Structure 1
Amino acid sequence: MPKRIWEKIGEIMDKNKNNKTMPSEFGRLPTNIYRYSNSFKDEEWTNWTCLYSLPLLVNYLKNPRLLNGWAAYVLACRICIKHTITQNELANISKSFQEFWKSYERDYTKKDISRLPAFKIVFHYLLHIQESIKDCGPCWAFWQYPIEHLYGMLQPMVCSRLYPYKNLVNSIIIMERFNHLKYLPKFHDQIFPKEEKKQYNDNQVFALDNNVEEL
């Protein structure tokens, strides 16, 4: 699609960023895909693919075959991220990814050898996701969200370009030593201040004498 179309889509996403009615289950609020797609992580790409792409592209993909091909990909992705997947859904994953592949081959590359670089190897991998789920279970069992989160924690700890690995090891050791100070009574009260119990007005809190829980 032309650059101006992506700019419009990005503007729409920005306008909805402050939408307070958006369900919290959606995770992060939509991020302008035109401006920040290069810094998108797995969560942003998942939200874009499964939640925002079809509503935002429906008015710009004028060719129904292009939209249907992308819709097949979105359907397969939505099933893949489910925590439990039935045998019927597993068959739908394979069918939908095959539909997307055929659509991509027909409408984008048009079986033209000069467009061979457009056949990314990752598109071929899509055809094997059904087998991977059969062998390893649902995608959440082996996807990369946890390791990306870990990388996000480790990267700021590296400040030395000359000895990055040694710097990382030392930073982790210092952090863990600090975390263990809370178990030493001698240092606990000095470093970790006591949490003050919140005080509520009687007209704001309801509690029973024999119950710790407050409402």
Structure 2
Amino acid sequence: MHLIWENTVKNLILLWTGEFKGINTGRESYELGLEVWEAIGKATAASGGTLPSVYCARPPNPVTERSACTADTWSFWTQYLGPVLLRQKFSKAKYYKHFVKLVKILHVCLQFELSSQDIEDLRVGFESWVKEFEEIYYQNDPQRAGVCPITIHALLHIANSIKETGPVWTSWAFPMERFCGRLQPIIKSKRHPDACIARYIVEEAQLTQAALIYNMAEELSLHKPLNGMVAGQFTHKSYPTCVLLPPRRKGPDTIDDSLYSKIIKALATQLDTTPAVLKRVVFRKHIEQWGKVRRLEGGDTMICASLVKKQVDSRDATFVRYESLVDRNARQRNTPSIFEKQTFYGQLQHLFVVNVPTNPTIHLDAPLTIFFAALLPCLLTASSAHLDMLNIHFYSAMGTSLDIVDIICVQCLVGQVPLNDNGWSWAIIDQSGDLARAVFED
């Protein structure tokens, strides 16, 4: 934690802003300039409204609120905001590529599991990055030795440390730092602070052991369970991984002709019939709308943009990643279908519950309930390969037609970073990694 977020990253920024120990750029030109860095700081703070709260706390402005930037803040900025906001800001592309190379290496370091090959890649990657760092910033000049503190050399030992002790999450300082933060409020006596701390630790250990022995973790927890019951929620046995949350809208007046036709078309695809047949079976009274969906087992809560009114100064939780099977031969008539999984990004507009009644016309022997999500897709633009590897994508327009998919296809929330003040160009940040991917069964 301290090696990267509290030292290496901060030192890089000091080098870029010309504030590192009074050392100039030498024969290079890596400084950003005050106006550029101030613009990056404003963009960092402005991104808070379009990043879901589950991603991070609102990022402070690193220029005007530097004291508010914690290790957690620098971690998120380095991995997700930095690659976006520093793009095309340096006078030479090699400085930006050098930074992105570090971000890629850090993404590997932060993986939940690492193979022997991953560790070897880290070893080679850090060696290459440190060598380039010396070429750019040290420049083989003994007068510039100050730009190479011990923390730069320490990067070369990370791979060996992971090999000896396991992934970095097993030994980093974040849990201990947060534990110390929990201790501070319980100190009630300035004269005997150690007694207060000792009592708190003993009592917490006793509660923890009681919860483990008697399987009472939820009963003894002082926090509201993430997957707890919510008044008015709706679940169905066909969808055990999610729960729908209010507001709820029901009635024929809540769905216009266009939406109804799109729902019927999506339903016809799923039931392998025709829209004309379904319109004689499924009516508007069989369809209801919901405002939110929560993925269970620690998943995200996603909000419908059309049904839930956005509050002032709220965080945006409407943009999601969804995956669907697309027929590669859809435009070729009389050609066998070949389906392949594709990833899409878009804004969640509607959530529908379709209650299909029993009807022999569509070969349905029992009532069927289907959850549909209607999304407005983001039309992605081409981006560089190294940013695609970081799950950072760009778009400047939204689609005009809704995609209606089964709710199982909707995976998780994504964040957005505005690339300009006019709001016509955005970067999409997806930090879920490989832990939130759809698995399609035949």
Which category of TM-score, normalised to the shorter sequence, fits these structures?
0.7 to 0.9
Which structure 2 residues correspond to residues 191-202 of structure 1 after superposition, within 5 A? none
Aligned to 1:189: none
Gaps of at least 5 residues in structure 2 are 1-16, 18-32, 208-221, 223-228, 238-242, 245-442
Q: Alpha-carbon deviations, 1:75-127, whole Å to 9, x = none? A: 11111011011223222212222222112111112122122222111111110
Residue 160 (structure 1) shift:
6.4
Q: TM-score, normalised by structure 2?
A: 0.38
Counterpart amino acid of residue 76 in structure 2? N
The question of whether the paired residues in 2 share the 8 Å contact of 1:13 and 1:30 is answered with yes
Q: Say which structure is richer in strand.
A: 2
Counterpart amino acid of residue 146 in structure 2? P
CA distance in structure 1 between the aligned counterparts of 2:162 and 2:35, rounded to whole angstroms? 39
Does structure 1 residue 152 correspond to structure 2 residue 194?
A: no
Aligned to 1:7: 38
Q: How many residues align?
A: 189
The question of whether the paired residues in 1 share the 8 Å contact of 2:45 and 2:58 is answered with no
Distance 1:169 1:98, change over 3 A: same
Q: Which structure: larger Rg?
A: 2
Distance 1:40 1:159, change over 3 A: farther
Q: Alpha-carbon deviations, 1:10-43, whole Å to 9, x = none? A: 1001221111xx3566333433222333333332
The alignment partner of 1:128 has SS state of helix
The question of whether the paired residues in 1 share the 8 Å contact of 2:44 and 2:61 is answered with yes
Aligned to 1:92: 121
Aligned to 1:39: 68
The alignment partner of 1:61 has SS state of coil
Q: Say which structure is richer in helix.
A: 1
Distance 1:117 1:138, change over 3 A: same
Distance 1:198 1:62, change over 3 A: closer
Distance 1:36 1:91, change over 3 A: farther
Does structure 1 residue 104 correspond to structure 2 residue 133?
A: yes
The alignment partner of 2:64 has SS state of helix
Aligned to 1:127: 156
Q: Alpha-carbon deviations, 1:143-187, whole Å to 9, x = none? A: 1110011111123344666665456446x37986xx8xxxxxxxx
Provide the identity percentage. 25
Aligned to 2:83: 54
CA distance in structure 2 between the aligned counterparts of 1:107 and 1:78, rounded to whole angstroms? 23
Gaps of at least 5 residues in structure 1 are 180-191, 209-213
CA distance in structure 2 between the aligned counterparts of 1:173 and 1:136, rounded to whole angstroms? 26
RMSD over aligned Cα atoms: 3.3
Counterpart amino acid of residue 37 in structure 1? R
Counterpart amino acid of residue 128 in structure 2? E
Does structure 1 residue 71 correspond to structure 2 residue 100?
A: yes
Q: Alpha-carbon deviations, 1:36-67, whole Å to 9, x = none? A: 33333332121111111111111212222211
Q: Alpha-carbon deviations, 1:131-153, whole Å to 9, x = none? A: 00100111111111100111111
Q: Which has the higher contact order (CA 8 A, sep 6+)?
A: 2
Residue 3 (structure 1) shift:
3.0
Counterpart amino acid of residue 49 in structure 2? N
Q: TM-score, normalised by structure 1?
A: 0.72
The question of whether the paired residues in 1 share the 8 Å contact of 2:60 and 2:68 is answered with no
Does structure 1 residue 82 correspond to structure 2 residue 111?
A: yes
The question of whether the paired residues in 1 share the 8 Å contact of 2:83 and 2:100 is answered with yes
Residue 205 (structure 1) shift:
5.4
Residue 69 (structure 1) shift:
1.5
Residue 73 (structure 1) shift:
1.0
